[in-house]
Amino acid sequence: MILKDEMLDSLLTELSKEQIVYVPKQVNGTTRFAPYVSSDKMKLDQVNTVMPPKDLLFPQTQNMYHYGVEKNSGNMFIDPVIESADQILFGVRSCDMRSFDCLDAAFLTKGYIDEFYQAKRDRLTTIAIGCTEVSETCFCESMGQDPNHAPQADIQLRHGEGGYNVTAQTEKGEALLEKFKPFCEEGEVEVADVHCTLNVDASNIKDNLDILHESHELWDSMSYKCLNCGTCTFVCPTCYCFDIDQENRCKEGVRFRCWDSCMFSEYTAMAGGHNPRPEKRDRVRNRFMHKLNYFEDRYGKMLCVGCGRCIEKCPVSLDITVLIDRANELAQAEETEAAHA
Partner 1 sequence: MPEIEIAHGCANGGEPFIPQVCRIKEIIPETHDVKTFRLTTLDGKRPFDSKPGQFGLLSFISEGECVFVISGFGEDYIQFTVKKVGRVTTRLHQMEVGEQVGVRGPFGNWFPYESCKGMDMLFIAGGIGMPPVRSFAQYCIDHREDYGHIDYVYSASTYADLVCKEDLFENWPKVPDMNVYVSVYHASEESEKKGLTESYTAPFLETLGIEASENRAAVVCGGPSLYRTCSESLKKLGFADDHVVTTLEMRMKCGVGKCGRCNIGSHFICLDGPVFTRAEIAQMYTTA
Partner 2 sequence: MSDITTTLRERARALMEDGTIAAFIGWEAGRFERQTTPLICLDAADTDRLIFDEYCVNTTAKYVRDLKQRGRIGVAVRGCDSRAINRMIEDNQFKREDVYLLGIPCPQMNDRKTGTVLNKCQDCAHRNPVTYDELLGEAMEETAPQDRYARAHLVSGLDRIARQNIFNMAFERCIRCYACRDVCPCCTCRTCFVDQRNVGWLGKQDNLSENRFYGMIRAFHISDRCIECGECERACPMDLPLMAINKKLVEDMNTLFGEYESGMTTDNEDALRSFSKTDLEEFE
Which residues sit at the interface with partner 2, rule CB under 8 A? 27-30, 50-51, 60-61, 136-137, 198, 224-225, 227-231, 233-235, 243, 245, 247, 256, 258-261, 264-266, 280, 313, 315-319, 321-322
Please state the φ and ψ torsions of residue 33, each to the nearest 5 degrees: -90, 125
Cβ proximity to partner 2, 175 vs 241, nearer residue: 241
Say if residue 240 is exposed, middle or buried (CB neighbours under 10 Å; 0-12, 13-18, 19+).
Answer: buried
Q: Which helix (H) or strand (E) holds 121?
A: helix 115-121
Q: End-to-end distance of the chain based on CA atoms, in angstroms?
A: 62
323 to 205, 207, 286, 289: CA distances (angstroms): 10, 14, 13, 11
* Beta-carbon contacts of residue 158 (< 8 Å; ≥ 6 apart): 129, 130, 148, 149, 164, 165, 167, 191
Angle value at C-alpha 258, between 257 and 263, nearest 5 degrees: 130
Quote the least distance from Cβ 266 to partner 2, whole Å: 5
Q: Binding partner of residue 235 among partner 2, partner 1, none, CB under 5 to 8 Å per kind? A: partner 2
Cβ proximity to partner 1, 199 vs 246, nearer residue: 246
Binding partner 1 (rule: CB under 8 A), the pick from 37, 60, 61, 77 is 77
Stretch that binds partner 1, among 88-96, 128-136, 147-155, 256-264 (CB under 8 A): 256-264
Cβ proximity to partner 1, 38 vs 271, nearer residue: 271
Please state the φ and ψ torsions of residue 252, each to the nearest 5 degrees: -130, 165
Query: Contact letters (x/-) for partner 1, 276-295, by CB under 8 A?
Result: x---------x--xx--xxx
Cβ proximity to partner 2, 141 vs 319, nearer residue: 319
Could you please report the per-residue DSSP string of 224-276?
A: TT----SHHHHH-SS---EEEEEEEETTEEEEEEEE--TTSGGGT--TTS--S
Q: Binding partner of residue 195 among partner 2, partner 1, none, CB under 5 to 8 Å per kind? A: none
Please state the φ and ψ torsions of residue 11, each to the nearest 5 degrees: -60, -50
Q: Kindly determine how many residues on this chain lie close enough to bind partner 1 according to the rule CB under 8 A.
A: 52
Binding partner 1 (rule: CB under 8 A), the pick from 106, 212, 324, 327 is 106
Where on the chain is the footprint of partner 1 (CB under 8 A)?
Answer: 64-65, 67-69, 75-78, 80, 106-107, 110-116, 210, 214, 240-246, 248, 251-253, 255, 257, 260, 262, 267-272, 274, 276, 286, 289-290, 293-295, 297-298
